[in-house]
Amino acid sequence: MKPHSIPRRQFLASAVTGSLLFPGIVQQLLADNADPLAPKQPHFPAKAKRVIFLFMTGGVSHVDTFDPKPALTRDHGKEIKADHPEIKKRPGYERIYLKRPQWEFAKHGQCGTEVSALFQNIAQCVDDIALIRSMHTSHSNHYNATLGMHTGSFAQSRPSIGSWATYGLGTLNRNLPGFVVIAPKQTYAGTQVFASDFLPGAHQGTLVVPGAEPIANVAPRVPASRQQLELAALRQINEEHLASRGTDPLLAARLQTFETAFGMQMAVPDAFDLKQESDATLASYGLQRGQTTGFGWQCLAARRLVERGVRFVELIDTGSSGNWDAHGDMMTHGPLAKNVDQPIAALLRDLKQRGMLDDTLVVWTTEFGRTPFNNTATAKGREHHPWAFSSWFAGGGVKPGIVHGATDEIGLRAVEKPVHVRDFHATILHLMGFDHEKLTYRHAGLDFRLTGVEESHVVKEVLA
Amino acid sequence: MAFFESKVLPLLQSRCYECHSHEKKIKGGLALDLKTGWQTGGDNGPAIIPGDLVKSHLVQAVRYADPEMEMPPKGKLAASEIEVLEKWVAMGAPDSRVAKVADNKARVIDIEAGKKFWAFQPVRDAKAPAVKNRSWPSNDVDGFILAKLEAAGLTPNADADAYTWLRRVSLDLTGLPPSPQDIARFTADESPQAREHVVDRLLQSKAFGERWARHWLDLTGYADQIGTSNNVFAEHAWRYRDYVIDSFNLDKPFDRFIREQIAGDLLPFTTPQERAANLIATGFLVLGDVEIVAVDKLKMEIDLVDQQVSKVGTAFLGMTLGCVRCHDHKFDPITQRDYYAIAGMFRSTDSTYKTDNGVWSSINACEMPETPEQQSRRTQILAANEAKLKSLQSERTDAEKAKAALEPQIKDATKEAKPALEKKRDELAARIKAINGEVEHAKFFAPIAPKAFAVHDRPKTDDMQITIRGNPYALGDKVKRGLMAVASWGELPPIPANQSGRVQLADWLADSRNPLTARVTVNRIWQKLFGEGLVRSVDYFGVRGELPTHPELLDHLATRFVRGGWSQKQLIRSLVLSRAYRMSSAHNAVAMTKDTDNRLLWRMNRQRLDAEAIRDSMLAISGKLAPANGGPALPLEFPENVTSLSPKAVNPPAFNLKKFRPVQEFERTVYLPVIRTATQPGPAKLRDVFDFTQPAQISGKRAETAVPTQALFLLNSDMLRARATELAQHLTQTESNAGARLEVLWLRVLNRPITSAERDEANQLIESLLADKAWIELSHALLSSNEFLLRL
């Protein structure tokens, strides 16, 4: 017998056609077995087939970015009163004063939406954006507000919005995970922001850390020829075992996971292989050829993932330090904005150019805003502000070029058409074709849903 | 009054009743179809203060003055309508309606009716029913199982073969596979007690507690981290983990185990060790996902109380008590008063304290009594630490002097000599910085008297007021401390003055008359051994949970458990020695059509090994498993793993794990650090891949997923590669020929002899590769196989 011959031939046959690794019985079993990631139809037809969720960690100041407040500049240093959670009983914060924004605002696009100089590139895309200026949330701690923005729950862990998305829609490419989170560092609430919690584990977000090996254990540790031998041996062992067990969907499912994993070994490096992109594309995202980190890399990787059928991609820009949490100095918003501004604009344009913006929903948000005041007239920073912040949608099913809701004159309260995080979630689910009250999961005797037990409403005005 | 009837009432009816009337909904607790409705008001208190427009929430709400409360929410009333309401309130809000509306509050919970539900009925022992096939049962358990099968026209599967049974019971009881020696001993033991010999050996092994403790830890939210922010280390948490392991190994009666965890600090004791164990046990109440960074300390404390009530509910009672914080239970006969009766006990207990770091709090830690040996050992370590500090400090002084001496030299040095001197100075500066870090670390971790995370009663204990919708600033009635009425048989015995009542709570939980505790506990044990519970919703015995498939068996086991002194080992022993436990898990086409889900237990349920069993088994098989005796899980002894030690820091001391003790690669998984907010660290990584219960959750049942990341882990992880390589080395070193190696390989990994077909295939593979590689690939393939990953 020639060395290698039989196992390799068998193995390759299976890898190419799937016929040997999936004999009839296995196919049958897989069909019987409820595959948690099989593609599913939503409750009603919807434009958005996939979501890119851009999360800015730390609390982006609304009054310095998307919510112009001339009164703040006019009344800079004026004392005000507010029964605010971040200053209550806090020594040194008995008196508070308005603080002016550090960046100029200007009108952009046909729609004339005002955006500050911090986001000069995103500003060029306002005609594709539905901006919400009346966001508000339920907590002023990073941990709780971050958890809330991702899971709808401000205290206990609950499934992430991305997990709900794959639970509802399944996935389109079994060689890639359905829900991917690309983050250079752990944000507040850590892995809880992409946990499937009580939903089946298949809906857990797969963490990608920008770098040489974005998904753990994808790179084979041995040469391909040896891995093939090993897989052939494994297949033989598993099939004999299956044959002796009559019928067992889990065994078949496990066989399938090896097929998928084998596919992932190629699909994942391919998805993250930016070498295939043109110089012009790389440049538009602000990337050097060969670069494997940075928010530009995250954005371009996100486009490549959704292109390949991944349902929900979340990009987190920073970790739980060195982020937008500008207590000490608002000017730290400068480099953070620079990090994301060009890549996000490039992503929107790239999707549009490829005709993908029509059925891809892009969400931009943070966990809360920042106070329009501080405890001295000369304070450089701003504090956490759950009462008002700005978020935006673009793409699939969104009415472009509009501004929804408003804060009061100084950006303290969302006064016009306030949108709570729960409403925000209900709207995202609606854009994906789900009635947020009906996308439920039975756990511990209760029907849980992303929007929880409190009332929430789809923001109809932002729908196209 | 005419104004009310002609102008106000129609307005209320058309614009407010939809959400605020007894006929429709009573949102926010406010009803406007009665005079008393607005007088009492809703969650925010009275809706109208007659004559006072500013203080009347109703007026403020319709004016849209507060964005948090704008009514009606769908759109502001017309200015003329608002005026009507304003005028009415200003007039003193005359209201002609008399209380005619039936006071049918959405749902009144009837406790007596609720008690009729099976789970709240007293446990009733039942005799094993008569069966036709009298030769099958080997103990009482089997009679209950067989009777149901016979009634459904089903027959139990044949016994599993000896290898399968041995592997099953070894993995279930210890989380480790049998060794080739164990297999040889069992297959050679021809006595009728052969199985008993195996079971007794396993129950007495330390590995038993190491496995079963982890099942309990899944119900506690255990982690080596406090809360979820900033990686704050829970440096004493391991003591609780070790306490749980010891409790299982000592077969501590479960009623005692309950009392220690709920009220250990209040229990009498005779020895320092007993006192120490009692204190450590209360870690149960504080080692969950406790929020410690919050400006609002009152809210933080109330949230922790909620977590404690919920945990007691899930772990001991199989009830979801968390829901009841804000409203009576939607499905179960549990009222808000039940919740606050128990919550008052935890509100009277101190669990956290404010630290000096910024807005941070921490979990209470208390000093434990020491035995004389412990004391003398600590004195020695202390002396060593002092000596280390001294030598570090003197090294620093020398370095500082040398550095100071260099400065003038650098100043005067020639251009050529300068760089070398500067380099030397910089090296000294770096060394001084490093020493400072080491000194800080040595000071911080100077051996102190052993401490445990534990609770104690507050100096002033009291009943608790209902918090409206969980808001600690909106308080309702005070509720006398007590118990969950539907599961009680009488009043709570009086709580001694200045005590929280946790002793009385523990006594109630651990009472043989409690209808839930024993049932919930034996059901969880059953589930770990048979794959599914007799009640499949193991953490929830409420109205919307699953009904028991074998209610009489459940009660029989609960009765026997309590009569047997709440001994978990005795119960486990009798279950694994039953005929039912011996059944094969093989397929049976007829039974499948009649009972697809195997609810009647016509076969054994096969289970996928959990994360711990996978890693630990691989270590045992490769021969690398290192014995461990517990102790700190976090390797905080390495200064590089610790940050923010300065007492003046805004943030508390935290871990940043960069380095592990080399031995941790080879210790059982239960001893590795558990992290709450990040991926599981270092050698514990595979927990995340194989459905570990994340410590932010509480769950008596692990998920059993089959996802590609598991396959990737099995194919490509360094860990699999390492174990496969070690196993291959072991084979090639101990056995000289391929035939013997194959025998041993199959015995070690799959715990059964190799078949001849398998031998032929394996030989083919071996011939096709260089020898050293072949054994690694073959070992790797076997360690990733379904047969290895399942316990049949």
Give the Cα separation of B687 and B717 in Å (integer): 13
- Residues A292 and A229 reside in one and the same domain: no
With CA atoms as reference, the chain B residue closest to A412 would be B67
Q: ipTM exceeding 0.85?
A: no
CA distance A337 to A326: 12
How near does any CA of chain B get to the CA of A287, in Å? 29
Q: Give the amino acid at A178.
A: G
Q: How many CB pairs under 8 A join A and B?
A: 206
Q: Span B556-582, mean pLDDT?
A: 98
B708 to A257: CB separation less than 8 angstroms, yes or no: yes
- Tell me what pLDDT residue A13 has: 32
| Cβ separation A157–B544 shorter than 8 A | no
Q: Is the pLDDT of residue B676 over 90?
A: no
B228/A189 CB distance under 8 A = yes
Phi, psi of B654 (to 5 degrees): -140, 160
Q: Is the pLDDT of residue B505 over 80?
A: yes
Number of domains comprising chain B: 4
What pLDDT score does B510 carry? 97
For residue B45, being part of any structural domain is answered with yes
CB-based contact B705 A6, cutoff 8 Å = no
Q: Which of residues 236-265 of A touch B (CB under 8 A)?
A: 236-238, 240-242, 245-248, 250-251, 253-258, 260-262, 264-265
CB within 8 Å: A255 and B786: yes
Q: pLDDT-based confidence at B176, cuts 50/70/90?
A: very high
Looking at the fold, whether A285 and A431 belong to one and the same domain comes out as: yes
Collect all residues of chain A within an 8 Å Cβ-Cβ radius of residue B696.
Answer: 156-157, 192, 195
Q: Cis omega (within 30 of 0) on the bond before B72?
A: yes
**B265 and B362: one domain?**
yes
Residues A132 and A223 in one domain: no
Asked if B697 and A197 come within 8 Å (Cβ–Cβ), the reply is yes
For residue A46, the distance in angstroms to the closest alpha carbon of chain B comes to: 26
N-term to C-term CA, chain A: 67
Which sign does the torsion angle of CA A23, A29, A35, A41 carry?
A: positive
**Band (B224; pLDDT cuts 50, 70, 90):** very high
Do B463 and B349 lie in one domain? The reply is yes
Smallest CA–CA separation between B611 and chain A, in Å? 13
How far from A180 is each of A204, A304, B490, CA to CA, in Å? 9, 12, 54
User: Greater confidence, B600 or A249?
Assistant: B600
Q: Residue B283: what residue type?
A: G
Instruction: Give the range among A15-29, A186-200, B452-466, B492-506 with minimum mean pLDDT.
Output: A15-29
Q: Of chain B residues 302-331, which have a CB less than 8 A from chain A?
A: 303, 320, 322-323, 330-331
Cβ of residue A17 closer than 8 Å to a chain B Cβ: no
Could you give the number of structural domains in chain A?
2
Please name the residues between 323 and 382 in chain A that touch chain B, using a CB distance below 8 Å: none
Q: What mean pLDDT do residues B465-490 have?
A: 89
- Of residues B323, B542, B777, nearest to A229 (C-beta): B777
Residue B430 and residue B492 share a domain: no
Kindly state whether residue B683 falls inside one of the protein's structural domains: no
Calculate the average pLDDT of chain B. 91
Query: Within this chain, do residues A329 and A397 fall inside the same structural domain, yes or no?
Result: yes
Residue A90: Cβ within 10 Å count = 14
- The minimum CA-CA distance between A284 and chain B, rounded to whole Å, is 33
Integer Cα distance of A428 and A149 in angstroms: 12
Cβ distance B295 to A140 less than 8 Å, yes or no, reads yes
Q: Over its length of 464 residues, how does chain A's per-residue pLDDT go in tens digits?
A: 233 333 333 433 333 233 233 334 444 444 444 567 788 899 999 999 999 999 999 999 999 999 999 999 999 999 999 989 888 777 788 899 999 999 999 999 999 999 999 999 999 999 999 999 999 999 888 888 999 999 999 877 789 999 999 999 998 887 888 999 999 887 887 788 888 888 877 788 888 889 877 888 888 877 877 777 777 778 878 877 877 776 666 777 777 778 778 888 888 999 999 999 999 999 999 999 999 899 999 999 999 999 999 999 999 999 877 899 998 899 999 999 999 999 999 999 999 999 999 999 999 999 999 999 999 888 899 999 999 999 999 999 999 999 999 999 999 999 999 999 999 999 999 999 999 999 999 876 778 999 988 889 999 999 99
Residues B340, B273, single domain; the answer is yes
- Computed from CA positions of residues A235, A236, A242, A246, in that sequence, does the dihedral angle turn out positive or negative? positive
B667 located within any domain: no
* Beta carbons of B716 and A220 less than 8 Å apart: yes
Angle between helices A295-307 and A249-271 (to 10 degrees): 130
Chain A segment 419-458 residues within 8 A of B by beta carbon are 444-446
Q: Which of B424, B448, B472 is the last residue of a domain?
A: B448
Of the partner residues A5, A234, A413, the one whose CB lies closest to the CB of residue B785: A234
Chain A residue with CA closest to B304: the answer is A155
Whether residues B305 and B381 share a domain: the answer is: no
| B162: contact with A, CB 8 A cutoff | no
CB-CB contact of B178 with B170 (8 Å): yes
Distance (Å, whole) CA A451 – CA A446: 14
pLDDT in tens, B277-327: 999 999 999 998 888 887 788 888 999 999 999 999 999 999 989 888 888
Would you say A90 and A358 are in contact if contact means Cβ atoms under 8 Å apart?
no
CB neighbours (10 Å) of residue B366?
A: 16
B273 with B371: CB under 8 angstroms?
Answer: yes
Q: How far apart are CA A52 and CA A364, in angstroms?
A: 9
Classify residue A382 by burial, with Cβ atoms within 10 Å: 0-12, 13-18, 19+.
Answer: buried
| B656: contact with A, CB 8 A cutoff | no
| Whole-number pLDDT of residue A28 | 46
- What does the pLDDT average to over B749-765? 90
CB A168 within 8 A of CB A439: yes
pLDDT of the residue at A418? 97
pLDDT top residue among B99 and B714: B714
Answer whether residue B692 shows pLDDT above 60.
yes
How far apart, in whole angstroms, are the C-alpha atoms of residue B482 and residue B505? 8
Question: Is A86 found in the same domain as A4?
Answer: no
Q: Among B696, B680, B304, which Cα is nearest to A147's?
A: B696
Same-domain check for residues B291 and B421: no
User: Is B553 part of any domain?
Assistant: no
Contact B575, B141 (CB under 8 A): yes
Q: For residue A245, what are the CA distances in angstroms to A230, A362, B584?
A: 23, 47, 11
- B8 and B23 inside one domain: yes
Residues in A 147-166 with any Cβ partner in B closer than 8 A: 155-157
Q: Is residue B670 domain-resident?
A: no
**Contact at CB, B761 and A189, closer than 8 angstroms:** no
Identify the pLDDT of residue A173.
86
Cβ of A201 within 8 Å of Cβ of B764? The answer is no
pLDDT digits (tens, 9 = 90+) for B260-269: 999 999 999 9
Distance from CA of B696 to the nearest CA of A (A): 6
Question: Are A287 and A344 in the same domain?
Answer: yes
8 Å CB contact of B706 and A253: yes
Could you tell me which chain A residue has the CA closest to the CA of B706?
A: A254
In this structure, the answer to whether residues B725 and B747 fall within a common structural domain is yes
Sign of CA dihedral B667, B673, B674, B675: negative
Burial A167-205 (b: 16+ CB within 10 A, else e): bbbbbbbbbbbbbbbbbbbbbbbbbbbbbbbbbbbbbbb
The conformation of residue A199, written as its DSSP 8-state character, comes to: S
Distance of alpha carbon A95 from alpha carbon A454, whole angstroms: 34
> Is B606's CB within 8 Å of A248's CB?
yes
Are the C-beta atoms of residues B458 and B266 closer than 8 Å to each other? no
Cβ A241 vs Cβ B785: under 8 Å: yes
In chain A, residues with a C-beta closer than 8 Å to the C-beta of B685 are 216
Nearest residue in A to B779, CA atom:
A230
Note whether A62 and A178 are same-domain residues.
yes
Picking from B45, B73, B90, the residue at the C-terminal end of a domain is B90
- Residue B508 tokens read as 């109630």
* CA–CA separation, B767 and B38 (whole Å): 88
Taking CB atoms and an 8 Å limit, are B296 and A85 in contact across chains? yes
Q: How far apart are the first and last CA of chain B?
A: 79
Angle at A208 between CA A203 and CA A209, to 5 degrees: 150
Kindly determine whether residue B694 and residue A250, on different chains, have CB atoms separated by under 8 Å: no
**CA A403, A406, A407 angle in degrees (round to 5)?**
145
For chain A, positions 188-217, list CB contacts with chain B under 8 A.
188-192, 195, 197-198, 200-202, 204, 206-207, 215-217
* Beta carbons of B677 and A1 less than 8 Å apart: no
A179 touches chain B (CB under 8 A): no
Task: Using CB atoms, pick whichever of A197, A204, A444 lies closest to residue B540.
Answer: A444
Q: What is the mean pLDDT of the segment spanning B29-56? A: 81
Helix, strand, or coil here: A180? strand
Verify that B390 and B327 share a domain, yes or no: no
Closest CA to B502 of B282, B270, B302: B282
Instruction: State how far the alpha carbon of B559 is from the alpha carbons of A77, B147, B562, in Å.
Output: 73, 20, 5
**pLDDT score, position A11:** 37
What pLDDT is stored for residue A22 in this prediction? 34
Query: Are A240 and B758 an interchain contact pair (Cβ–Cβ within 8 Å)?
Result: yes
A240 and A201 both lie in a single domain: no
Helix axes B568-576, B517-530, angle to 10 degrees: 40
Q: Which of B764, B773, B789, B791 to mutate to test the interface with A (most CBs of A within 10 A)?
A: B764
Residues shown for chain A:
464
One-letter identity of residue A351:
L
For residue B779, give its domain range: 715-791
Q: Which of B225, B349, B236 is nearest to A143 (CA)?
A: B225
Task: Select the residue of A141, A229, A236 nearest B294 (Cβ to Cβ).
Answer: A141
CA distances from B31 to A206, B45, B56 (A): 48, 12, 15
- Rounded to the nearest 5 percent, the helix, strand and coil shares of chain A are 35, 15, 45
On whether both A60 and A119 belong to a single domain, the answer is yes
Residue B558 lies in a domain: no
Examine the domain organization and report whether B443 and B327 are in the same domain: no
Which structural domain, as residue segments, surrounds residue A233?
1-32+219-271
Distance from CA of A283 to the nearest CA of B (A): 33
Residues of A in contact with B539 (CB under 8 A): 444
For residue B445 the two structure tokens come to: 């971790």
CB contact under 8 A, B67 and A245: no
Residue B378 shares a structural domain with residue B354:
no
**Same domain flag for A169 and A100:** yes
Q: How far apart are CA A371 and CA A60, in angstroms?
A: 10
3-state secondary structure of A443: strand
Is B331–A445 a contact, with Cβ atoms under 8 angstroms apart? yes
Q: Which amino acid is at B707?
A: V
Interface test with A, best of B226, B469, B768, B788 (most A CBs within 10 A): B768
The answer, yes or no, to whether residue B680 has pLDDT greater than 80, is: yes
Quickly list DSSP for B473-502: TSEEEEE-S---GGG-SSPPPPPPTT--SH
Average pLDDT over residues B62-69: 80
Contact B758 A237 (CB under 8 A): yes
**Chain centroid to CA A150:** 9
Structure-model confidence comparison of residues B423 and A91, the more confident one: B423
Of B67, B706, B710, the CB nearest to A418: B67
Tell me whether residue B198 is in a domain.
Answer: no
Split at pLDDT 50, 70, 90, the class of B771 is: low
B228, B679, B764 member nearest A207 (Cβ): B679
- Are B789 and A254 a contacting pair at CB < 8 A? yes
- The answer to whether A168 touches A441, Cβ cutoff 8 Å, is no
Tokens 């994340």 identify what position? B694
What does the pLDDT read at residue A314? 97
Q: Where are the alpha helices (DSSP H) in A285-332?
A: 295-307
Residue B68's pLDDT is what? 72
Mean pLDDT of B454-460: 96
Q: Please check whether residue B652 lies inside any domain of the structure.
A: no
B414 and B441 co-located in one domain: yes
Pair A11, A66 in one domain: no
Last-in-domain residue among B90, B123, B152: B90
Q: What is the pTM of this model?
A: 0.81
Does one domain contain both A168 and A316? yes
The per-residue pLDDT for B104 is: 41
